[in-house]
Structure 1
Amino acid sequence: MKRLFFLFLLMPGILFAQKEEHYLAGAVPEVDGKVVFSKTIKAPSLSQEQLYEAMLSWAGDYYNGEKNRVVYQKPEEGAIACLGNEYIVFSSSALSLDRTTINYLMRIVCVDQRCDLEISGIRYEYNVSYQKQPEKYVAEEWITDKIALRNNKLLRVPGKFRKGTIDLIDKLFVDATNKINGLVSASASAAAPVTAAAVPAVTSQTAAVTPVVPVSPVVAATPLIAATTTAAAQAQPEVLPVQANVPAGYKAVAADKIPGNIIRMMQNDQMMITVSNGQETDFATLSSGGVGYAFSKPVAFCITESGKHIASLIESASSYTLSFYTEAYRDVLDKNKDNRSKDPDRIQNSGLTLITTSNGNKAFSEAWMIIECKKISLSQQNGTAGAPANGSKILLGEIQNVWIK
């Protein structure tokens, strides 16, 4: 009886320890130094087309907010990409609310009998009381084993980001699994209505529930390029063999060797987009975007404003450049954040030197890095009809060339 009594007293601690174990060493997977969560959902009875339609429906329902958006879909490849933007709430009361915004890229690829999901490019914006601007973090600098754990225990601040992120990833993977399980159940019922059994809903990744469709880890694809602390801390990018048509003063590098600190530069208004139609060229400073791999292609995405004069050029252009600058060009970057009217002398007055790439795109020689892109899609960020003229749009492009000084 005493043993049972002591076991009863210890039970809450045992359950808590089991729950905490879910967030400890190995809970945040890293691939080549990048945080990448991935999952394979097996569906032996379903075709690529069936899985694609199911996942597109799920993604359309979930990513339908002003900043949540399905940004890429290609039925013949079974490919879907979504930009996630939502809150992780740490604590909430009548007097206080502690939460962070999390942004990420969700990649879905469907083939016959299988669906692969991958989440990468995770970054946070955390509002704090002691400053006006939010603190910005990337997953690689904030929730990894090396940063968020000490003696296999969660540190207080990065630990809550780690737990909140893992819980969100669990929810997304479970929701997607239940969507496919429901389709499998419906298919089985149609084939054999007498013997078909109901598919149990998955309620938690850690719960002892065995779904009808087994779920197993997928070998992660190349993850979204993530930020590191400073430019100086970056490893020297791998330079490609000498190539023709490289702008003077630059060296060509592989897309997967783009320095990770450009994510931070994108957030700090150190990136410009330059677009030309042959007769007219315009440029603007952007403050949000990312780079990575989607469907075996290196891609870059950025947020543009429809109210800017450059918007019409972006609409009609098939390619463009993204260029990155040091703080020495802060005045030029700030001055061109809000170019809502046409100014034929703006390039000349900027003090920057316009150059032309071998593909006919424009950039500026003062940039320390230039990324040349082929446009894949341009979609309204809020996804509503009759959107206001100053609404934001998501520009997604395939990276064609990368040049670094």
Structure 2
Amino acid sequence: MLKKIDVKELHENPFTLIGDDWALLGAGDKDKFNSMTVSWGGVGILWKNPVTTVYVRQSRYTKEFMDNNEYYTLTFLKDGHKKELTLLGTKSGRDIDKMNDSGLTPIEVENGITYEEAKLVFVCRKLFKNDLLKEQFVDESVFDACYPDADDFHTMYIGEITACYISE
């Protein structure tokens, strides 16, 4: 069961959460939604709001859901779900019913979909989006290392955290 809290009550390490534990980025509603695993992103304060920053490649099915919905969720699962995170990060919802195949249990929260197996959920309202382009990189070695296929850049989304849930 998830309990809504003030985001300022959190004491989690965002570097561990995003970089090591990974997260599920999801958008849509109970009738049609998609999630994908992310291990790039950030949490902080911007424009006087608590925000998350997430990145989605142009080729990802989840991008359609991100572009067509006002809100998205960033879900961190309880320990022991790397197999599910790997599936949701490597398979496309265009090709398989990965929302069912993952074995995770989707549930509704305010303005979004998350999973019963969540330990932490951010519900975010999109404030900003921008496509990353080669000419924007100050350090070209970053571009070269992360974009060997120059046709599949990321879109950056910044969302205000409008709700935060933790497992009880």
Is TM-score (shorter-chain normalized) higher than 0.5?
Answer: yes
Deviation at 1:382, TM superposition (A): 2.2
The answer to whether structure 1 residue 397 and structure 2 residue 159 are counterparts is yes
Cα gap change, 1:279 to 1:364, in 2 (>3 Å): same
Distance of 1:336 and 1:330 partners within structure 2: 10
Q: Which residue of 2 aligns with 1:382?
A: 133
Superposition TM-score, scaled by structure 1 size = 0.36
8 Å CA contact retained: 1:263, 1:289: no
Aligned pair partner of 2:83 in 301, 306, 331: 331
> Sequence identity of aligned pairs in percent?
21
8 Å CA contact retained: 1:307, 1:389: no
The secondary structure found in structure 2 opposite 1:264 is helix
Deviation at 1:366, TM superposition (A): 0.4
Superposition TM-score, scaled by structure 2 size = 0.82
User: Which amino acid is the alignment partner of residue 350 of structure 1?
Assistant: S
Distance of 1:288 and 1:282 partners within structure 2: 18
| Pair member with larger Rg | 1
8 Å CA contact retained: 2:25, 2:37: yes
Q: How does 1:282-361 map to 2 (within 5 A)?
A: 282-340=34-92, 342-343=94-95, 345-359=97-111, 361=112
Deviation at 1:256, TM superposition (A): 2.0
* RMSD between superposed Cα atoms in Å: 2.2
The answer to whether structure 1 residue 259 and structure 2 residue 11 are counterparts is yes
Distance of 2:9 and 2:40 partners within structure 1: 20
User: Which amino acid is the alignment partner of residue 163 of structure 2?
Assistant: N
More strand by share: 2
- Unmatched runs of 5 consecutive residues or more in structure 2: 137-148
8 Å CA contact retained: 1:273, 1:321: yes
Cα gap change, 1:308 to 1:268, in 2 (>3 Å): same
Which is bigger in relative contact order (C-alpha 8 A, separation at least 6)?
2
Q: How does 1:2-401 map to 2 (within 5 A)?
A: 249-276=1-28, 279-340=31-92, 342-343=94-95, 345-359=97-111, 361-382=112-133, 389-401=151-163
Instruction: Tell me the number of residue pairs that the alignment of Structure 1 and Structure 2 aligns.
Output: 155
- Unmatched runs of 5 consecutive residues or more in structure 1: 1-248
Please list the CA deviations of residues 261-287 of structure 1 after superposition, one character each: whole Å capped at 9, or x if unmatched.
232120125210111156421100001
Distance of 2:153 and 2:61 partners within structure 1: 13
Distance of 2:132 and 2:85 partners within structure 1: 24
Distance of 2:21 and 2:154 partners within structure 1: 16
User: Which amino acid is the alignment partner of residue 104 of structure 2?
Assistant: L
Distance of 2:29 and 2:153 partners within structure 1: 23
Deviation at 1:377, TM superposition (A): 1.3
Divergent runs of 4+, >6 A: none
